[in-house]
Amino acid sequence: MTIAEIISARSTLAGSRRTGACKAIAIALLLSAPLGLQAKIDANAVYEPVSPTIDQARANILIARQLQFTHFRDLGISDELSGDVFDAYLDYLDGQRIYLSREDIAKFDEVRTKLGSALKTGQLQPGFDIYNLVQQRIIERLKFALNTIDNGLDSLDFSSNERILVDRSEADWEADAKALDELWIKRIKNAVLAQRLNGAEDEDIADTLRRRYEGQLKRAYQARSEDAFQAYMNAFTGMWDPHTSYFSPRTSENFNINMSLSLEGIGAVLQSDNEYTKVVRLVPGGPASKQGELQPADRIVSVAQEGEKPVNVIGWRLDEVVDLIRGPRNSTVTLEVIPANASDETITETIAIKRDEVKLEEQSASKDVIELNRGSKDYRIGVITIPTFYADFQAMQAGDPNYKSTTRDVRQLITELEAEGVEGLVIDLRNNGGGALHEANDLVGLFIDKGPTVQIRNANNDVQVLNDEDPSVAYDGPLVVLTNRMSASASEIFAGAIQDYGRGLVVGSQTFGKGTVQAVRPLNHGQLKITQSKFYRVSGGSTQHKGVIPDIEIPSRIDKSRIGEDALEHALPWDQIEAVPHTRYFDFSGIIDELRKRHEERFATNPEFSLLQQEIDFLERQRETDTVSLNLEERRAQHEQIERTRLTIANARRELQGKEPFDSLEDLEDWQDQQAADPDTTDDELDFIIREGGHIMADMLDLDQKMASILNPQQFAVQAPAAAAR
């Protein structure tokens, strides 16, 4: 969730991905004292089953009513839904299928088809029974792991040809406890191998794993009724769509802190992902975004305060991980993460981030100028980067005539760029996760005379059309809009409108596809965030699920199979309604093939693009790995190959920048640590994708005769044809 989204979240929200029944919760890691290290486990500890409360039962009934009667999706609570809730709940509690066996699942055969009717009437005990069994199995598995470690790592055999499945989310459940024992031996071997390959000694490995499993065991013993209820409700609400979720009173507190913009910390949005805490999105201008190493879909393994040992957070509740990452401004927190592109869960990276305040000015739109020499002609292309759609609502409500907003700032930047003699404009919306809806509407208005910008349809099929009523145009020259997979919500509304009006070209990669609107509704116990409407472009197509497809595509490192609306279970589908009349400024069909041809010819000889493609190919190979070897020698060879590839790619980039190569991977990592300590020293040179946007603009200017219509848009205005009926 971006700053602007947080500001406007009470009316419109945007955001994220879900695994199983896991829900994204906007946690912009705030200032407070961190938790201490986990205590030693009491050998005589006994798991105390949790039970539902009357308040939870009442909240359950209210949630069921809201979902059935006010959600955008018309979905009844049926026997079929009951089975889906059951599967999603197990996915939430044991997504990697490492705790429960087929014998355990069979115990709940009768429950599978009855959860729906029970959830209608607030009968929570079946869900709590499942939760308690899973907690007991977690405790058994962790005790087994600790016992294995205590028997000595030298008892483990690393010379066989065994392999372990990297992702077990689609695997069969193991038959019984004995089969789970065998699986867990493999898991422990895998963890030991990963640390041996990183240079750790067996004594240190045993200590690290022991602390990890003891930490998880402690959390299992400390399970609370609210943990079971939130997990169960989110499995239930997730049947309607991935952005509808239940917030417990504690989670609601964190959410409401975000509403007040108390944003000090690392600036990240997190969610639970089975046993892990996963990064959903980075707040533009925040410490993590500026530091540059933490990425969406990274999973957090441990958290370390300055001068302290890392605390393993696998299996922790989301709110507890957030508390641990919080800390004083200018202090450093170190995260051990499994990178989004890691081939298996044992590959981790350590990232040090200096906590700081997320400053509004660092999220503001900014400008630059690209100077291109194209044979006999030089071009000056303006670039405006918009990290988020923001507005200072407090200043606006107070009547401050100089309040900051995206549209006001961009208007001023356009004026400055035109004074500098730019011939075209590139708007960079990459990684812009959205924000204030009215700012997207107003920003479109800077580039068109007047007209509709977006349609919003509610559950009753009533359609509201937002319009730009201001006939003034801040910029009527040629336009390119850059997008990527992390461009979402308000970014998609702007890019889609520019594309529909023929006002400019969209360049980059397919956007996120977040085309729904949520409202937060209070309950007697916690809150419900519920999807109530859907965005549609002026041409009638929804931005939901499909996003905006660029006119000219540039490959991206981001894995679309893991990040994006179409990667989410139960995401609302793409559809379309009637178009609304709107001006078509230019028909690019006559020149788009030539523009694509020139772009592809440039990239065929561009060393930076070649390097990007090498990275993408490398990441693809990593992602395609479904098993890893438990043989030490084979694993070492694989590890060394990965390390060599990382170093080769890093040094190729250094060479392009005219810098000395790194002698070793350790040198690269030391340099990354130095960058993390002072992210403001990062090289701000315009990246090659922005420059390619400038080249595409120059191509458009080269075709000036065919581009005459966009340079004088009113002369060539036509009415867009109506789209197909709903």
Contact 280, 273 (CB under 8 A): no
Smallest Cα–Cα separation from 440: which of 496, 489, 486, 494? 494
Q: Where are the alpha helices (DSSP H) in 222-361?
A: 225-237, 249-259, 287-291, 318-325
489 flagged as catalytic: yes
- DSSP H/E element including 619: helix 607-623
Catalytic one among 84, 273, 500, 559?
A: 500
How many CB atoms neighbour CB 436 within 10 A? 27
* Contacts of residue 93, Cβ cutoff 8 Å, sequence gap at least 6: 99, 130, 131, 134, 231
Distance CA 153, CA 149 (A): 6
**Selected catalytic residue, list 289, 489, 533, 556:** 489
Is 514 designated active site? yes
706 is catalytic: no
Q: Which of 21, 112, 116, 123 is nearest to 77 (CA)?
A: 116
Q: Measured in Å, how far apart are the chain's first and last C-alpha atoms? A: 31
Burial of 589 (0-12, 13-18, 19+ CB in 10 A): exposed
**Distance of alpha carbon 367 from alpha carbon 34, whole angstroms:** 38
What span, in angstroms and rounded, lies between the C-alpha atoms of 368 and 481?
15
H helix runs in 678-711, sequence order = 688-702, 708-711
> Strand, coil or helix: what is 722?
coil
Q: Where are the beta strands (DSSP E) in 174-237?
A: none
Q: Check 23, 514, 529, 546 and give the catalytic one.
A: 514
3-state class (DSSP) for residue 290: helix
Angle between helices 592-604 and 688-702 (to 10 degrees): 140
Residue 233's closest CA among 220, 211, 249? 249
How many whole angstroms separate alpha carbon 702 and alpha carbon 602? 15
Active-site annotation, residues: 489, 500, 514
